[in-house]
Amino acid sequence: MTGPFIVICSEREKLAGLGEDSFSYSFGTEDTGYISVFDGCGGMGAKKYPKAGNRSGARVASKLAAYVTDNFYEDKQFRFDGTDCQRLKECLTNEFAKMRNTIETETGAKLGGDLFKTMPTTASIAAVKINGSSITCEYFWAGDSRGYFLDKDGLCQVTKDDIKTDEDAFTNLRSDGRMSNVIHAEGDFNLNTREIDIDLPAMVIASTDGGFGYYGTPMDFEYIILSSLMESESPEEWENRLSELIIPVTGDDFAVSIAVYGLYDIAGCKEYFKERCQFIKEKYIDTAGENADEDMLLRLWQEYKPGYYRR
């Protein structure tokens, strides 16, 4: 096996041609690959650059981060030896500085502080190495884009949001915690990393906050991933159906990438996750219904939370 059976990248620009989310992925012949998503930060990166086609710094940043990550993979730089994060950060820092020098035309004082950055973007990257019946997955992230896996026991968030308050995935849906760290051209950012082994079959997932951040609970995000799979007969249908479920809910651009390992056709994938999908539907989605109050949602979240944070 040299890669995942299914890779889908569901995305949408809220305003065509002005979107600030990006993704990239690739899978080679040496049992390695990666998926990634990036969310250009439109508030702190709203400045537009004539030398970049009058695009915002946020849009430039997300596209550039995707490009740098893809080059990093194609140059066989994901080595799984403990040095990947530092070397990837160096590549991002260098390429962002080069781009800044290329498109920046203004001189003099620059607005500073947390509210303004040059070419800011979040990142969620998952590099994968296949080890027979398991995978080694290196997660890299900055900001509030997230990395997950989903197996027979459900969705598990591996990354930890870079936000100023210590909130979990449920409370942050209500407060939208302010980010404390993003990639940007000034270079003083952190690229976080975690490496874990995951038994197969499993999905590896990366998502910007437009994919998961507009639902009432984290359980809803797991359910739309699984229910869109159950309603599809091909990877293309799954990708389209997932977008159809996110678009009416989100108030933002979004990018969601999913790679499925250890299953070899769409029918087998549906069969494997059928029981989990039905469990989530009956236990959480149907129980909450359309009129659940906050106390009920919190109770359901407390039941779901140990599995969601099991790694």
The string of DSSP codes covering 273-304 is: HHHHHHHHIIIIIHHHTTT--HHHHHHHHHHH
Q: Is the pLDDT of residue 246 over 90?
A: yes
Domain count, the chain: 1
| Residue pointed to by tokens 């769409």 | 266
The whole-chain average pLDDT of the chain stands at: 92
Q: Which of 26-40, 117-131, 202-216, 226-240 has the lowest mean pLDDT?
A: 26-40
Q: Which of 7, 23, 2 lies closest to 235 in space, CA to CA?
A: 7
**Residue 41 located in a structural domain:** yes
% of the chain with per-residue pLDDT over 90: 82
For 141, residues 6+ apart whose C-beta sits below 8 A from its C-beta are: 122, 123, 124, 125, 147, 159, 162, 191, 192, 193
**Residue 156 located in a structural domain:** yes
pTM of the model as a whole? 0.95
DSSP 178: P
pLDDT, tens digit (0-9, with 9 covering 90-100), for 112-135: 455 578 999 999 999 999 998 999
pLDDT, tens digit (0-9, with 9 covering 90-100), for 198-218: 999 999 999 999 999 999 999
**Residue 1 located in a structural domain:** no
Q: Which pLDDT score is estimated for 114? A: 52
Task: Average the pLDDT over 49-67 and give the result.
Answer: 95
Q: Which pLDDT score is estimated for 109? A: 39
**Residue 274 located in a structural domain:** yes
**Residue 10 located in a structural domain:** yes
Return the CATH number at 166.
3.60.40.10
**Residue 265 located in a structural domain:** yes
**Residue 136 located in a structural domain:** yes
pLDDT category of residue 108 using cuts at 50, 70 and 90: very low
Q: Which domain holds residue 175?
A: 6-308
**Residue 249 located in a structural domain:** yes
Q: Which pLDDT score is estimated for 105? A: 75
Q: Is the pLDDT of residue 110 over 60?
A: no
CA of 272: how far to CAs of 10, 152, 221, in Å? 22, 8, 18
